[in-house]
């Protein structure tokens, strides 16, 4: 299985400078966005994991969710440790794993992990 790891250290600066950053106002917006992401063609599942590795929101079945959450939580911690070992003031923001069949995208934060699994070939 071919795995390509891409570590993003900073967000696209273009969008931040201008007025393009989208801002969602309340919980309904969050739900809407999550629904939209799930509805995109090729997206297999979306998981939101809290800081301890416990999935709090998911669109997949329980066993798969638990498996993804646990494994990706560990990998994210290792990746974050790597990034911060090199420079403690830096931090991990995004993690992308591309395999033969899927692409797993993890948006990381101290409080949570947002995991989206997509099949880019549709």
Considering only residues 42 to 71 of the shown chain, the ones binding another protein according to CB under 8 A are 42-43, 48, 50-54, 56-57
How many amino acids of this chain bind another protein (CB under 8 A)? 57
CA 59 to chain centre: 14
**Interface residues for another protein in 84-103 (CB under 8 A)?**
84-86, 88-89, 94, 96, 103
Q: Are 94 and 7 in contact (CB under 8 A)?
A: yes
Q: Which stretches of 1-122 are assigned E, i.e. beta strand? A: 4-8, 43-50, 55-58, 94-98, 103-108, 112-118
**If binding is defined by CB under 8 A, does position 13 make contact with another protein?**
no
Query: Of the candidates 58, 68, 72, 80, which one interacts with another protein according to CB under 8 A?
Result: 80
Q: Closest separation between CB of residue 113 and another protein, Å?
A: 9
Token pair 């090729």 in the structure block, residue = 42
């Amino acid at each position: 299985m071919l795995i390509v790891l891409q570590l993003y250290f900073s967000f696209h600066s273009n969008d931040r400078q201008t007025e393009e950053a989208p801002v969602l106002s309340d919980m309904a917006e969050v739900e809407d966005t999550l629904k939209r992401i799930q509805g995109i063609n090729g997206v297999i599942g979306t998981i939101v994991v809290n800081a301890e590795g416990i999935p709090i929101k998911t669109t997949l079945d329980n066993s798969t969710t638990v498996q993804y959450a646990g494994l990706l939580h560990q990998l994210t911690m290792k990746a974050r440790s790597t990034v911060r070992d090199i420079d403690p003031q830096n931090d991990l923001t995004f993690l992308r794993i591309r395999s033969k069949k899927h692409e797993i995208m993890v948006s990381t934060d101290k409080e949570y992990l947002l995991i989206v699994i997509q099949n880019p070939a549709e």
